[in-house]
Structures are given as C-alpha cells and as structure tokens.
Amino acid sequence: MAIPQGRKRRTFRVVSRQLQQQLAAQFTVLAACSETSIEDWSLLAVTPFSHWLSQAEFNQQFTERSASEQPAIRQQWREFYQLLVTSTPCYQAKYRCGGRLIFKAPKSSDLVIERLLRSATEPQLTLVLPEFNAVFEQGGDDTCWLHFASLKTMEPLLARIRKQGMHLLSPA
C-alpha cells in the first residue's frame, strides 16, 4: 500500500491495557512520580569506537568524516539495531502530556531499524527490553546507552553485542 505524499508510516502501535500495566510495573524507574530513577541503574555506552574519543578524535570522526567512511559506520549501526530489535521483544517508552508514560509495540522489526537509523533527522528513541530488565536510549553522536538493573541478567545480550563488533564502555 502506497503512503500518501507528506504522511509518515507509523513504526509503533499502542499496546494492550494489560501489557501497558505490566510494563509500567516493571519499569517504574521511568515513571515521573517514581521514588527511584533510571540513574540508580547500571549504565553502559554502546558505540562503534573502542574507547572514549578525545576532542581531536571526535572532530576526525564527526566533523571531518569522509563520505567513504560513513557507509561502514552506518552498516555497523544497522547490524547492531537488527541484533537489538530481533533478539528480544522491545517496546518504545514515550511520555505523553502531563508526563504520562506509555508503551508502544513495533509494527515490524524492519520499521524500527529504519527509524533508529534516522536518528540524525528525528528524535531519538527509548526502548525497554523486558527480558533483560533494561532500557535502551538512542544517542545522537554514535553512542547509545543501556541502563539495566542486573549485570547477570544482561550478560547474554552484552556478549552478543560484543560479538557483533560494537563496544561497551563505562561512563567516565
């Protein structure tokens, strides 16, 4: 079905009331009125770089990156997003007016991957990964963030991320 000119195809749909309640109960750290915060969880950066970049390295990688280097970096992100979206059920966490948290399910993994790849032109996404009790936040500078409650629970996913070629860095 062709999408009319000027209209976007929606990537996510609202989940059932029952699932909404389950996700809200599991991810209370995201609720505006919660006593705990996502900052209380462990945090790792996901990036194609093996270390935190110096200012000179940042300039080289972002302001002076050649057009020939861009496809390789984009492909690395595509493979990571594919791993993330297809390895476990994930849901978008989104705030509505008044700070109300809602969750949305992907319509398809391909749509989510394409949406994640458009981060330079659209707002970044926040995804929850219930299986791992984790929150993925997309960043805008070739760095994304994984918040999680337990390293033991996350280890299978972290191993797949490393095997795929991305790097996991602790915040400075």
Q: Are 154 and 132 in contact (CB under 8 A)?
A: yes
Q: Measured between alpha carbons, how far is 114 from 27 in angstroms, rounded to an integer?
A: 25
Q: Measured between alpha carbons, how far is 45 from 151 in angstroms, rounded to an integer?
A: 14
Q: Where are the domains of the chain?
A: 12-169
Asked whether residue 3 carries a pLDDT value surpassing 50, the answer given is no
Q: What pLDDT digit, counting tens, does each position of 109-147 carry?
A: 999 999 998 876 677 899 999 999 999 999 877 789 999
Q: What pLDDT digit, counting tens, does each position of 69-125 carry?
A: 778 888 999 999 999 999 899 999 998 876 789 999 999 999 999 999 887 667 789
